[in-house]
Amino acid sequence: MRVIGVASAALLGVSALTLTAPAAHASSVSSGFRVSVLPTTIAAGGQVTLRATGCEQGVFVTSGVFDDVAIPRGRTTATATVYWDAKPGAVYQVTFHCGTFWQNAELTIAGGGRDHPAHKPVTPQRGVQAGGGGSVAGFDLQEIGLGAALVAGSLGAAYRISRRHPDQDGA
């Protein structure tokens, strides 16, 4: 009878790990997807380079400051022209879509507009905004919590099943 309890606990543990594997796989797939907008500060009417790496399919790029752009499969860059009426000093989100994954980058509009048709990059007045990448970026706290709850619950159930006495099994 003791063998049945141990086998049940082992099966429950393996099942819990199997259920958490898709979330781990999804995060590892998305961790290779990297995006950038260059330059990060541009005058209205200027042209930016959109870069996306680590996506095995075409990337769709959207923003409120330029027309939607597609980066075809097999390429890593595309260009977009910023609208002439973009508000100087405004910061716009640029969203890159790779299948079901997406990442955002920021684009700041420098002074200029119709009075300055030449679009040249402006040096930002602040330092690099770092710290968004790495192994933590893109994690959803709800997914982490659900995974932790599944693992903790299965470990608790496995411990409880393995600690039962023979008289509790009805034998």
Q: Report DSSP letters for 126-157, one per residue.
A: S-----S-SSSTT--HHHHHHHHHHHHHHHHH
Instruction: Enter the pTM of the model.
Output: 0.49
- pLDDT per position as a tens digit, 37-89: 999 999 999 999 999 999 989 999 999 999 999 999 999 999 999 999 999 99
